């Protein structure tokens, strides 16, 4: 039984509601019995669609809501109010993904910072753990989280972790969690493999980030939650564990982090 801690089950990507339902059914049949669909990354409508998907699949799919740093310029008072309201739905167990992306700079950096801080505060008011997107911020993302007291609140999970082992230890020592995607299986991803070996067992999560980052040997195809098993098996080899043992540990970590009971 595996928990995909981060996927984007957006109907716009998977061919409408019926396509999403089929992808979820395939995942469950493959042993991926729990998944978190992220309501962030496809514009301001992402959150509502994620909540709808989770509501149609109770006990299997949960949702997060938020505004991705790419879309930070869209965070008006009206959008913030909509996100706050959606976040109070029972299927919503996290806020995000939010953070900083200084690689693409799809929104101006200062706007990203402002949106990030505002949403940290919203998550704190809602008592929801935060899912972090951090790309090329050179440590600024972590500094903001510390300054705003995020680690003292409901929790912080760095999704699709892309930095080095030293920074990973800084995140963990602050109280954070780390999620590893299919990138770990890529030929040139020695850095991610080093991180996957070193993350403390009680802070480790696995994810697909579907529809992106499909693991080897399926790289090049559209990613789906069922493929998280390939990533988990690969990490189990790196950590010299049985896949079933790692699956149980990661699933328990994700359920505890998101506040989901058995």
What confidence tens digit (pLDDT) does each residue in 106-151 have?
999 999 999 999 999 999 999 999 999 999 999 999 999 999 999 9
Tell me: pLDDT of 50 over 80: yes
Give the per-residue pLDDT at 17: 98
Give the per-residue pLDDT at 150: 98
Residues 6+ apart with CB under 8 A from 15: none
Q: Over the stretch 224-244, which tens digit does the pLDDT of each residue have?
A: 999 999 999 999 999 999 999
Query: 85, 115, 73: which is closest to 97 by C-alpha?
Result: 115
Helical pair 243-258 and 228-238, crossing angle rounded to 10 deg: 110
Q: Topology of 3-258 in CATH?
A: TIM Barrel (3.20.20)
Q: Output the CA–CA distances (angstroms, integers) from residue 40 to 72, 94, 116, 131, 167, in the order listed.
A: 11, 11, 13, 10, 25
Q: What is the mean pLDDT of residues 65-79?
A: 97
Q: What is the DSSP secondary structure assignment for residue 87, as one 8-state letter?
A: T
Burial class (CB in 10 A: 0-12, 13-18, 19+), 220: exposed
- Cα gap 18→233, rounded to integer Å: 29
Give the domain ranges of the chain. 3-258
Element (H, E) at 39: strand 34-39
Tell me: pLDDT of 223 over 80: yes
Give the per-residue pLDDT at 118: 98
Tell me: pLDDT of 74 over 80: yes
Give the per-residue pLDDT at 44: 86
Q: With bands split at pLDDT 50, 70 and 90, how would you rate the model's confidence at 262?
A: confident
Give the per-residue pLDDT at 127: 98
Q: With bands split at pLDDT 50, 70 and 90, how would you rate the model's confidence at 38?
A: very high
Q: What is the mean pLDDT of residues 180-207?
A: 98
Q: Please give the share of the chain, as a percent, with pLDDT higher than 90.
A: 99
């Amino acid at each position: 039984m595996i928990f995909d801690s981060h996927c984007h089950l957006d109907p716009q990507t998977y061919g409408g509601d019926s396509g999403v339902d089929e992808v979820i059914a395939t995942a469950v049949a493959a042993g991926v019995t729990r998944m978190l669909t992220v309501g962030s990354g496809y514009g301001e409508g992402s959150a509502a669609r994620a909540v709808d998907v989770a509501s149609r699949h109770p006990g299997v799919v949960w949702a997060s809501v938020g505004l991705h740093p790419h879309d930070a310029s869209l965070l008006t008072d009206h959008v913030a109010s909509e996100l706050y309201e959606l976040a109070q739905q029972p299927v919503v167990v996290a806020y995000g993904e939010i953070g900083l992306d200084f690689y693409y700079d799809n929104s101006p950096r200062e706007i990203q910072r402002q949106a990030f801080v505002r949403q940290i505060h919203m998550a704190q008011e809602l008592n929801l753990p935060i899912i972090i997107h951090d790309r090329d911020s050179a440590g600024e993302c972590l500094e903001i989280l510390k300054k705003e007291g995020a680690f003292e609140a409901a929790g912080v999970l760095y999704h699709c972790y892309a930095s080095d082992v030293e920074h990973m230890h800084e995140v963990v020592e602050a109280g954070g969690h780390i999620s590893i995607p299919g990138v770990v299986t890529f030929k040139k991803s020695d850095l991610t493999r080093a991180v996957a070996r070193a993350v403390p067992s009680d802070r480790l999560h696995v994810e697909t980030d579907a529809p992106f980052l499909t693991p080897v040997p399926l790289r090049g195809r559209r990613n789906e939650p069922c493929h998280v098993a390939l990533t988990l098996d690969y990490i189990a080899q790196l950590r010299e564990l049985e896949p079933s043992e790692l699956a149980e540990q990661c699933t328990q970590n994700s359920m505890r982090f998101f506040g989901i009971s058995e």
